[in-house]
Amino acid sequence: MPVPTALRRALRRSLTVTATAAVLTGIALPAAHATDPPSRSVTYRGHQFTVPAGWDTVDLDRDPRACVRFDRHTLYYGTPSTDQDCPSHLVGRTEALLVQPAGSRGAGQARTDRTAHQLAAGDAQVRLTGTYDTDPGLVEGIATDAGLTLKSASSPEPTPSTLAAASVSSASTHYTGKGFDACAAPSASAMSAWNSSSPYGAVGIYIGGAYRACSQPNLTSSWVSQQASAGWHFIPIYVGVQAAGITSPTAQGTSAADDAITQAASLGFPAGSVLYYDMEAYSSSDSSDVLSFLSAWTKELHTRGYDSGVYSSSSSGISDLADHYGSGYQMPDVIYDALWNGSADTGDPAVPSTLWANHQRIHQYSGGHTETYGGVSINIDSDYLDVAPTASAVPHGTVWDRTRGSSGTWAGSSTEIDDNDAITAVASASLPDGTLHTFTVVPGSGVWERVRSASGTWAANAVKMDDNDNVVAVSAAALKDGTLHVDVVVKNSGVWDRTRKTDGTWTAATKIDDNPSVTRVAAAGLTDGSLHLETLVPGSGIWERVRSASGTWQTSATQIDTNGNIAALATVALPDGTQHIEAVVPNSGIWDRVRTAAGDWQASTQIDTNGDISAVSAAALPDGSMTVDAVVPGSGVWDRARSASGAWQGSATKVDANGGVFAVQSAGLPDGTVHLQTIV
């Protein structure tokens, strides 16, 4: 019998290695054609498949429940059952083949996908799916020798414009309670049986990746839609390159995220869904590459509107993420923690309770074991989920800076000045020396400061100036004596003030307002040396507390606006001694309230009627003019100017078209420029 092409290739590789060794040892070798490579053949539906002798062969028509797993050198032929008997947690791909009758269940899903290390071939009789690790040529050769036509690697694949429409809500990836994950998505009948009698309400499904080990004959958009309608929630898991295979972390992490989105969207999961990367346990020597890879994964998911999850072991991936929270890597929205301690909760001593604390955890508390409900047995891992919409609803992103020149012209584009993707709030203040100080809030880490010199150079790194990891809002205001105040809202605690002295050192934080209901804060330094702090209490309005020029804080706050619907505020002091508060009222727009130099508050005036505005900031300039910048979700940032004479610009001007902006901060510098900072 002629030696099949695939085995000739394998033989040449073997002989090349052996010959090299022979040269080194002086051993003589027989001619390459003296012995055919050992092999075994299976004839199925008119085709002969010849595989290396070391491979297993499995007749699925005789053993339909056999697990079709691609982490072993195996030729599977026949029709796999919808209820395969698979170990719960398999990871990895090698050279393997599944040959099914054309038109049988799942055969239509066979496609060439180089990202997934998968090839496809077929004719009118059979459909072949081949997987590989390092040797696609072996699989190609077996298929070709069997007389099958390979699908081109350039065959059209799903793109964002051709993906199936969302069939489920992103909320289907949110759940609190027990869940399970299985290597192969169970059949609809199995899911129905477990839905009726098991304690589980969520299921982990392996949506793609080059290391997805099990075939997925059941996993289609129709299956996802059907299970969602039955009340199931989902943990969509992507199993791509593992730690040892990371060579270009940023490029590979970005590519993995893009492919995961393609696979998730083809199953019906829309933007806003949480997608999980499966990063198995790894050596500490790989930590840096893994963190960079997962950072790129998260950043790309966020850029494209999805939320990021990471699955890993407590002792490697999860502890690495916790140890580096706030250090510049982009953190996932949800951690999926493999810690097999049998406790159905989300606790882990390796992860501080303040991190991923807002319904942002899954705990895989038990490894592979078999459970039976409704007469159906499945080998599973057991999970406990606490993933709620609020976890992904907390906006977070990176900070971008755009400059308005002293002539009033805005720069054509923004510059990213802080790439920490976990930032939730930003504040800025300019000192008399021309420096600009930007403060960012990183939940679980505290408040960080980055300085722009008077010459225009940003510091290379941010510096932590407050390690309170429960800060939820921040404001900054400079005084004429060169000091600077940063005021923060601490969850369930109130408002704390910290002063930067003229020598650049910071004082300890002092609580100046113990109202735990405060959600927003804004501060302005007036020309008389006083500091005016405005706080927002939902349902109550705006309250003010004043620090005199001598440094004494007013004993109690004074209510200066009783509108309980105000959602956001900003304040600014002008050179003439007046102060302006800008308040956002949903469905109404922006209202401006003026405090005269004599200390009297005037009635509010509506200056913008756009009811969709979600955030606002204000900046004062040395010439007595001011700007108000507002975020319109999906549209960008709009700017309206007030001249030194008190006249407001007739209409707002769009200065940033990025519809993903959710926070804005502006500051006027002594040279007449304005810096607009946004979080995207």
Question: What are the DSSP calls for 544-565, one per residue?
Answer: EEEE-TTSPBPSS-EEEE--TT
Provide CB contacts within 8 A for 57, sequence distance 6+.
40, 42, 51, 74, 75, 76, 77
Instruction: Please give the pLDDT value at position 178.
Output: 96
Q: What is the largest CA-CA distance in the chain?
A: 105
**Dist CA 184 CA 84 (whole Å):** 7
Across 554-563, b (16+ Cβ under 10 Å) vs e yields: eeebeeebee
Contact 274, 173 (CB under 8 A): yes
**Dist CA 85 CA 370 (whole Å):** 10
Instruction: Please give the pLDDT value at position 11.
Output: 39
Closest CA to 248 of 239, 258, 259, 256: 256
- Classify residue 248 as left (phi > 0), alpha (psi -120 to 50) or beta: beta
Instruction: Please give the pLDDT value at position 675.
Output: 96
Question: Mean pLDDT per 10-residue run, the chain (680 residues)?
Answer: 46 36 35 59 93 92 91 92 87 90 72 82 90 91 91 48 58 94 94 95 95 91 94 96 93 93 92 93 95 92 87 96 84 95 95 90 96 96 88 72 94 92 91 96 89 95 89 94 95 92 94 92 96 93 96 94 92 97 93 96 95 93 96 90 94 90 94 95
What is the pTM for the complete model shown?
Answer: 0.58
Q: What count of residues does the chain have? A: 680
**Dist CA 458 CA 435 (whole Å):** 10
**Dist CA 307 CA 98 (whole Å):** 34
Contact 598, 551 (CB under 8 A): no
Look at the block and give the residue holding tokens 């390796």.
350
